[in-house]
Amino acid sequence: MSTAASVPYTVERATRASRVAAVLGAALVVLAVSLPWWGTNVAMRSVVEISCYLVFASMWNLLAGYGGLVSIGQQGFLGLGGYFLFIFAQKMGVNPFVSVPLAALVAAAISVPTAQFVFRLQGGYFAVGTWVVAEVFRLIFANVSALGGGSGTSLTAMVGIPKATREMITYWMALAIVVFAVGLVYGLLRSRFGLALTAIRDSERAAESQGIDVARVKLIVYVLAAFGAGLAGALYYLSNLRISPDVAFSVNWTAFSIFIVLIGGIGTIEGPILGALLFWLLNNYLSDYGSWYLIGLGLMAIVVIIKWPRGIWGSLSHRFGWQLFPVQRTLRLDKE
């Protein structure tokens, strides 16, 4: 052992692709920030929409793909984010843009007591349990007549703000939220916490025997995912201006995010980004087919999980060794 310790080594945490990607990513962000000056309103609205899918799907990926906590109730926190945006902005007179992070914080705060219930269940039971909780939220808001009950309500607090200003700030907020969410997941997974999280996914018992506080790690990831879902929901309804419980708490949100994550590549940071872009394209060009479009999405999800569990990015990364967001540690022995 003593000889092994004297061998010089370095721990590499970046790849060449990741260095290139960091530069290109920064350039892309600068380009995106300037979009309002050279792009169309339609383009801005599309970016906001893609951002909502991307953030929501990334959070589902963090929870299920990295944490092994397969939830079908994340729409509960998306809906809470949307509704608390309306409560802050509409009922309490808070600036609508400031209300977005506040609403997400409330969603995260509500997820803490919720965890006490759903963590009594495991695996598939956990999944259905989270769905029950989302239904509880939906039914509660459907009974609040001050928020329009079952038919919902409109965000009129935005009326005083000129349309161009409103769209620009919403757009920049969407960008900031995407950078924050992707950065959060990336930073988290590169840290000790990320190691603990993936250890739990791969073997809960082995992780616990190594001294990881499993319950605490799971709770943190659950609360963070709720915060992210709440952000996505608040952002979505900031640009949509109309909310109703059946849409805000619809299980379709989670269905779409599962599709996005699986097709893009589960357990990768790049996957949900690719998946969200692809989903937005499909949605734009095929959603006129209505139920046949949804049947196609369902079929694709089934085929992908059985025949192609790596998804697009997982396959590329496996084939070419690409890693834009490297989270692993590579030990390299230095030559004397």
Binding residues for other proteins (CB under 8 A): 64, 68, 70, 72, 116-117, 120-121, 123-125, 127-129, 131-133, 135-136, 139-140, 142-143, 149-150, 251, 255, 258, 262, 266, 291-292, 294-295, 297-299, 301-302, 305-306, 309
What torsion do the CA atoms of 12, 16, 22, 23 make, to the nearest 10 degrees? 140
Closest to other proteins by CB, 7 vs 146, is 146
Nearest distance from C-beta of residue 57 to other proteins, angstroms: 14
Closest to other proteins by CB, 156 vs 203, is 203
Closest to other proteins by CB, 64 vs 100, is 64
Phi, psi of 8 (to 5 degrees): -75, 140
Closest to other proteins by CB, 148 vs 149, is 149
Closest to other proteins by CB, 95 vs 287, is 287
Which residues are CB-neighbours of 150 under 8 A, at least 6 positions away?
142, 244, 245, 246
Closest CA to 257 of 130, 118, 84: 130
Closest to other proteins by CB, 224 vs 304, is 304
Are 74 and 229 in contact by the 8 Å Cβ rule? The answer is yes
Are 323 and 16 in contact by the 8 Å Cβ rule? The answer is no
Strand partners, 330: 12
3-class DSSP assignment, residue 7: coil
DSSP per residue, 39-53: S-HHHHHHHHHHHHH
Closest to other proteins by CB, 109 vs 168, is 109
Nearest distance from C-beta of residue 205 to other proteins, angstroms: 12
Closest CA to 250 of 109, 137, 168, 161: 137
For the chain, give percent helix, strand, coil, nearest 5: 75, 5, 20
Nearest distance from C-beta of residue 108 to other proteins, angstroms: 19
Nearest distance from C-beta of residue 198 to other proteins, angstroms: 14
Nearest distance from C-beta of residue 245 to other proteins, angstroms: 11
Closest CA to 41 of 239, 315, 308: 239
Nearest distance from C-beta of residue 111 to other proteins, angstroms: 14
Nearest distance from C-beta of residue 127 to other proteins, angstroms: 5
